[in-house]
Amino acid sequence: MLKKKVLLYGNSILMAGLAASLQTLPQLEVIQMDSHGPVKIEHAQPLIFMDLRDIGSIHALPELCALPGVTLVGMDSITGTFSVLTGESHPAKSVQQMLDWLQGST
């Protein structure tokens, strides 16, 4: 089975919790990257998650948005939403709701 690569960009508590949840999905290969320092993505990840409240991730937003063929998902634990930064927003009162969306899109 070919696994879909997912990059979790940032080192917030939100990203740590998301990593634990995503690693339970056998169709995904979860890769984590620290948000301190320059963006160095060696292999294209079609799906990138970032914490919209993490200052390091926000500084990297222009570079992440410029990556070709990438879907960038911004998560906001304060408002309880995640936004697909191609123009879609979805309510997510729990990580499970976000996982349900993710499984429907893979």
CATH of the domain at 27: 3.40.50
Q: According to the model, what pLDDT value does residue 2 have?
A: 79
> How far is 5 from 89, CA to CA, in rounded Å?
22
Model confidence over 10-37: pLDDT tens digits? 888 999 999 999 999 998 889 888 877 6
From the CB of residue 23, how many other CB atoms can be counted at a distance below 10 Å? 12
- Look at residue 87 in the predicted model and tell me its pLDDT: 45
Q: Is the pTM of this model over 0.85?
A: no
Instruction: Write out the residue range of the structural domain in which residue 74 sits.
Output: 4-105
| Six-digit token string for 55 | 């200052």
Please, which residues have CB within 8 angstroms of residue 40's CB and are 6 or more apart in sequence? 33
Query: Residues 78, 70: contact at Cβ < 8 Å?
Result: no
Residue 47: partners with Cβ closer than 8 Å, 6 or more residues away: 4, 5, 6, 7, 70, 71, 73
Alpha helix locations (H) across the chain? 13-22, 55-65, 95-105
Q: Which H/E stretch holds residue 45?
A: none
Looking at the 3D structure of the chain, how many domains does it have? Answer: 1
Per-residue pLDDT reduced to its tens digit, 57-82:
888 888 887 777 788 899 998 888 88
89 pLDDT above the threshold of 50:
yes
